[in-house]
Each structure stands twice: as structure tokens, then as C-alpha cells.
């Protein structure tokens, strides 16, 4: 039994990573319905990525229907519903949705810490190993800002209404992982794509 265990373990480590084309297909398929809802409702606000401590179990994104709320309004875990009330005002209503980042975080062996090195290690493991979507990442943190550079991404970037709300696939994953690592709400301030590199700037709220 011990010998068989070692053989199975060795075989498990030789399984090839998911091809980038398959990863891209799964990502696009997973966000189509959400994109349709957001575009039909005409939502223009930016999503706030919340850690699992504020969403009753898993990191998700809150999309305010009217205006972006101050982070101090979100002080307790939101109920697991599509339409949620996050504050005391009548207009404090938004959509609480799972994103591709929600699934990506669940693929990590453990929750990373808030340091640059820990976050960089987790993102490199996701993009370079598990998902096969990029070669490597670099993370720089400064007070309440997180800068992430993703090198040689293997996924097509699109600029749509949906992406202006939730960010592109890479930015969405980065924001979800960072929110969980810092255990605080996070928004995507900027996302820039150049040849061979994707640069993402996050703001930690609260």
C-alpha cells in the first residue's frame, strides 16, 4: 500500500496543467450570463470585491445598483442572495455575485497572507501553474494600494461594458485573491494591457 501511494502521488504530479485555450473557454463561458444581466440593467458602477468574511463563506463581488458605497457601510457578512441590501439607505442595494475569482481562490491550497511575497506566490501558482494563463507575476504593495504585473498572459483581453464593471478575467482573479489575503474590500482602480504584460492597480478599502 505504501508503494502504491508513492506511485499514485508521483502520477498525480505528472498530470499536465490545463491548456490556456481551455482555461479561456471556461472563463468566457462562466461570465456570459453575468455580463448579460449587467448590460441589460445598464449598471455603470465598479464592483467591490469582498473577502469570504463579508459574504458568508466565499469571496464574491458586490455591484452597487446606484452608486459606489463608502466601505464603512459594509460591516457585516451579506446574505447569500443575488440582490442584497448592504446599508441603511434605501438605495444601498446591489448584486452579490460569484466571479471567476471566486473559483480561482478555491483552487489555492491555503489563503495567502497580505505581504507582497505571499500574494505574488499565490498568483504565480494560479496563473503559471494551475490555470496556465501566464508565465509569472510581480506584486508591489504600498499602504492601501496593490500593484500587480502579469507577464506573458495567454488570454485575450477585451474592453466591454461588463469588463468596465468587474474588470477583465485576470484583474478579477487578482482582486478576489487580494481581497481574501487582506480580508478587506478591494476595487480595481486601473487595468492596462501592453504587449507581453498586464498591469493592474488595486485599492484596499476600509
Q: What is the tens place of the pLDDT at every residue in 94-132? A: 889 888 888 888 888 889 999 999 999 999 999 888 888
Longest dimension (CA), the chain: 63
The per-residue pLDDT for 151 is: 93
More confident residue, 129 or 148: 148
Three-class secondary structure of residue 68 per DSSP: coil
Q: How confident is the model at residue 186 (pLDDT cuts 50, 70, 90)?
A: very high
Distances (CA, A) of 129 to 109, 115, 119: 12, 20, 15
**Rounded distance between C-alpha atoms, residue 176 and residue 178, angstroms:** 5
44-82, pLDDT tens digit by residue?
A: 788 999 999 999 788 999 988 877 666 556 778 888 888
More confident residue, 24 or 121: 121
**Rounded distance between C-alpha atoms, residue 75 and residue 174, angstroms:** 23
Burial class (CB in 10 A: 0-12, 13-18, 19+), 42: exposed
pTM for this one?
A: 0.81
The per-residue pLDDT for 10 is: 46
- What residues contact residue 92 under an 8 Å CB cut-off, 6+ apart? 64, 69, 73, 85, 86
**Rounded distance between C-alpha atoms, residue 110 and residue 118, angstroms:** 11
Q: How far is CA 127 from the centre of its chain?
A: 12
Amino acid at each position: 500500500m505504501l508503494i502504491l501511494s508513492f506511485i499514485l502521488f508521483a502520477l498525480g504530479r505528472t498530470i499536465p496543467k490545463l491548456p490556456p485555450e481551455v482555461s479561456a473557454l471556461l472563463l468566457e463561458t462562466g461570465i456570459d450570463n453575468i455580463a448579460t444581466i449587467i448590460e441589460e440593467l445598464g449598471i455603470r458602477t465598479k464592483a467591490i470585491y469582498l473577502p469570504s468574511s463579508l459574504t458568508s463563506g466565499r469571496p464574491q463581488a458586490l455591484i452597487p445598483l446606484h452608486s459606489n458605497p463608502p466601505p464603512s457601510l459594509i460591516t457585516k457578512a451579506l446574505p447569500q442572495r443575488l440582490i442584497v441590501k448592504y446599508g441603511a439607505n434605501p438605495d444601498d442595494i446591489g448584486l452579490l455575485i460569484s466571479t471567476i475569482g471566486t473559483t480561482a481562490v478555491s483552487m489555492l491550497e491555503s489563503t495567502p497572507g497580505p505581504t507582497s511575497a505571499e500574494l505574488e506566490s499565490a498568483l504565480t501558482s494560479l496563473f503559471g501553474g494551475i490555470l496556465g494563463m501566464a508565465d509569472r507575476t510581480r506584486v508591489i504593495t504600498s499602504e492601501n494600494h496593490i500593484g500587480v504585473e502579469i507577464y506573458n498572459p495567454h488570454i485575450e483581453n477585451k474592453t466591454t461594458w461588463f469588463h468596465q464593471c468587474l474588470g477583465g478575467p485576470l484583474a478579477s482573479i487578482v482582486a478576489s485573491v487580494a481581497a481574501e489575503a487582506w480580508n478587506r474590500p478591494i476595487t480595481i482602480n486601473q487595468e492596462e494591457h501592453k504587449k507581453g504584460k498586464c498591469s493592474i492597480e488595486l485599492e484596499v478599502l476600509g
